[in-house]
Amino acid sequence: MLQNGNALSWILTVCACTVTPFVASAPSQNEGFFRLEVSNGGRASYLQGEKVLVEVWFSNPGDKPLTLALHRAFSGLEIDLVRDGEKVFPTPGGKPFGDLDPSKRLAFPVHRERKQGGQYPLTRQFGVLAPGKYTVRARYSQTEEDLRGANPYPGLVARDQVLPVTTGTAVSNQVRFTVRAWEPKAVAEKEVQRVVDGQRSIVQLVETSEGELLVAWKSAKSRAGEAPELVVVPTGVKASVRGVFWDATDEKCHVLYPTGEGEKKALLVVDKKAPSSVSLPLAEATLQQPKGAMVFVPLAALISFVGIAVIGWLRLRRRSRMSPTAD
Amino acid sequence: MHCLSTRAVAGAVFLTTMLGLRLSGGAAQSGDLPLKVEVSAARSEAYLYGEEVVLTIAVTNCGSAPVGYVRGGGNLPMGLRLSISCEGKDFVPQDGHSGNPWGDVADGVARLEEGSVLKERISLTYAYGVLPVGRYAIGLRLDQPPWPGVTRGTAVSNPVEFTVKDWRAAAAVGKTIECRRPDGQVIGATTVQLARTTEGELLVTWKTTFSGATSVDFRAVRLPPNLQISEGLWHASEKNCYIASPPDDRGRRKLVVVDRPSSSVTELELRQSSPVPVVHHSRPATKE
């Protein structure tokens, strides 16, 4: 089960390329079983409240194909999270890996050099991580019973294909990261309505004591059994929160701020879902006449004026010749 | 060629029928199936050249029994065919466009219950490419094949007409962005323009040309008419354009976000922040 309870959001990605994850220690597995790797993209630290996303990859280190029989939500996968040497337990109502019906496992072959995996926010299972030094590790076991109850994965298994029996246990490498506390120096806030359930939540534009802007989305009320939601997105922009122009929804926050280089301004677009932040330089929207028109319009006017003047002069000349003279 | 001429004849016959129906009282539906096929353009006024033309199609079972149909890729029945003519001539999709917004892959047989509606929005621009300037007439016809579980017959939609009109920029500001492959190689360029037309409309346009290709990808998106852009600010990328108006007398700025892929325009109101300083109380020292 992943974010918003959508099992399909765990995208089963098969990639033939080799990805080198941030490996802090070597993974281990039984012979003839999967190799399991965990990565957080090499990030060393997070601010408290930031989404901590880990990638979990299954790969086949041997020559023979292996059968992976797991749920779309990676049922059977366990995550060990340790803070400052002590085990962290899931929050009440936190969604662990594999909280769906185990009989709905799907089996498919994984060939050599192939990787299978997905991304999972740790905060979904463990809530907002308190400041400290963390290690995370994944563990996966597969029994004959798991294989018997599994259905062939549509599109990946041919109709009469017999899949090899693959059983064993794999323990992933360990990934280390730090969660840092932050202090607000000044805060501007706005109440918004959540798109999903219409609930009210608060968006805060915060200038931290270190002078950096960050955006925090806080649910005013928690959903049944879940910890109140807090999503913090750092922007990497050093600016004062005073005098900026801003607006926020449940999903995005836009901040127009002075860059500090003369009169220049930039637009900060902060996305809660991705989560990401990008600063876009703004230019003056001064509309100008297209170059062709600028040349053509005065030229056309000049030609018309000269034409009219010449015709007028010719007519006057003719009239003066035809008129009787008073000799 | 033979295929095209067949299409042209079929289209002409179909559109003649449609226009005939319209002149004789504008019947919204015809055919022997108890289905009402309705088609409408998203906008009543004319489209500007380059704007995305979107149609809304609704198929309603107005009979007293369920109707079996072949399900296609989307919501609509697969036997639905779109006829489109420009200035009275059968309109052919441009290079690289299928002209078929639904696809040709059957996805089983389904039943449409009495009173139920199948609805979908389709982009004519996606199916046909950028529509040239002209007056267009559109109609739909549903032919149900003789398949088990499928109710045989035909249904014809109401006709829809719309115009795509030309425009010229009276004033504009623009920038050019290089299109690069992931390996960094330049494969083309996109020019983004913020323009005011000679008729006073505000537009954002994207024009992408790829090296070695003759085709040009063009898209225009109309901005809100009351948007104040003089002394405003803007930023454009290959996919988005942001326009911030100058502060109004209440100290607010309008931010318009234009999305090229969906042709959507989102208006936001940026307010000047009035932040509250956060006071951190230090713990008072206690005497032991």
**What's the whole-number mean pLDDT along residues A139-154?**
82
The answer to whether the Cβ–Cβ distance between A285 and B173 falls below 8 Å is yes
The answer to whether the Cβ–Cβ distance between A186 and B242 falls below 8 Å is no
User: Is the pLDDT score of B281 beyond 50?
Assistant: yes
The answer to whether the Cβ–Cβ distance between A287 and B229 falls below 8 Å is yes
The answer to whether the Cβ–Cβ distance between A283 and B253 falls below 8 Å is no
Q: Which residue has the tokens 């192939």?
A: A114
| Candidate from B173, B237, B276 with C-beta closest to A287 | B173
Q: How far apart are CA B134 and CA B129, in angstroms?
A: 14
Q: Which residue did the predictor score with more confidence, B199 or A164?
A: B199
Q: Which residues of B touch A247 (CB under 8 A)?
A: 255, 268-271
* The pLDDT of residue A74: 62
Structure token pair of residue B171:
């004033």
Measured CB to CB, residues of chain B less than 8 Å from chain A are: 169-173, 175, 194-196, 229-235, 237, 242-244, 247, 252-253, 255, 257, 268-278, 280
* The pLDDT of residue A314: 83
* The pLDDT of residue B96: 72
Nearest CA to CA, how far is A315 from chain B (Å)? Answer: 37
pLDDT (tens digit per residue) in B76-91? 888 888 899 999 999 9
The answer to whether the Cβ–Cβ distance between B268 and A247 falls below 8 Å is yes
* The pLDDT of residue A282: 96
Residue ranges of domains in chain B, CATH in brackets: 2-16+24-165 (2.60.40.2970), 169-271 (no CATH)
**What's the whole-number mean pLDDT along residues A152-179?**
86
* The pLDDT of residue A50: 94
Q: In chain A, which residue's Cα lies nearest the Cα of B277?
A: A186
* The pLDDT of residue A2: 30
* The pLDDT of residue B12: 42
Q: Which residue has the tokens 């597995």?
A: A29
* The pLDDT of residue B162: 94
Region of poorest pLDDT, from A15-24, A194-203, A315-324, B118-127 = A15-24
The answer to whether the Cβ–Cβ distance between B271 and A284 falls below 8 Å is no
The answer to whether the Cβ–Cβ distance between B278 and A185 falls below 8 Å is yes
User: Is the pLDDT score of A232 beyond 90?
Assistant: yes
pLDDT (tens digit per residue) in B227-268? 888 889 999 999 999 999 999 888 899 999 999 999 999 999
Nearest CA to CA, how far is B198 from chain A (Å)? Answer: 11
What pairing do the DSSP bridges indicate for beta strands B160-165 and B47-48?
parallel
Residue ranges of domains in chain A, CATH in brackets: 3-180 (2.60.40.3880), 184-281 (no CATH)
User: Is the pLDDT score of B22 beyond 60?
Assistant: no
* The pLDDT of residue A20: 33
pLDDT interval class at B65 (50, 70, 90): very high
pLDDT (tens digit per residue) in B166-225? 999 999 999 999 988 888 888 899 999 999 999 999 999 999 998 887 778 899 999 998
* The pLDDT of residue A14: 34
Nearest CA to CA, how far is A283 from chain B (Å)? Answer: 5
Q: What is the pTM of this model?
A: 0.76
**What's the whole-number mean pLDDT along residues B141-158?**
90
Mutation for A interface: B233, B256, B280, most A CBs within 10 A: B233
The answer to whether the Cβ–Cβ distance between A267 and B229 falls below 8 Å is no
Q: How far apart are CA A265 and CA B231, in angstroms?
A: 13
Per DSSP, the three-state class of A166 is coil
The answer to whether the Cβ–Cβ distance between A286 and B230 falls below 8 Å is yes
Measured CB to CB, residues of chain A less than 8 Å from chain B are: 183-188, 205, 207, 241-247, 254, 256, 265, 267, 269, 280-290, 293
One DSSP character per residue, A74-141 reads -TTEEEEEEETTEEPPPPTT---TT-S-GGG-EEEEE-TT-EEEEEEEHHHHH-SPPSEEEEEEEEEE
The answer to whether the Cβ–Cβ distance between B275 and A284 falls below 8 Å is no
Q: Which residues of B touch A184 (CB under 8 A)?
A: 278
Neighbours of A77 (CB within 10 A): 22
Angle at CA of residue A94, ends A91 and A95, nearest 5°: 150
CB < 8 Å & 24+ apart, contacts of B12-19: B12/B85, B12/B90, B14/B83, B14/B139, B14/B141, B15/B83, B15/B85, B15/B137, B15/B139, B15/B159, B17/B156, B18/B83, B18/B137, B18/B139, B18/B156, B18/B159, B19/B137, B19/B159
pLDDT interval class at A292 (50, 70, 90): low
* The pLDDT of residue A202: 93
pLDDT interval class at B284 (50, 70, 90): low
User: Is the pLDDT score of A24 beyond 70?
Assistant: no
The answer to whether the Cβ–Cβ distance between A245 and B173 falls below 8 Å is no
Q: How many CA atoms lie within 13 A of A203 on its CB side?
A: 22
**What's the whole-number mean pLDDT along residues B138-159?**
90
Q: Which residues of B touch A244 (CB under 8 A)?
A: 272-273
* The pLDDT of residue B42: 79
Nearest CA to CA, how far is A26 from chain B (Å)? Answer: 31
Over the range B260-270, which residues count as b (16 or more CB within 10 Å of their CB) and which as e? beebebeebeb
* The pLDDT of residue A164: 84
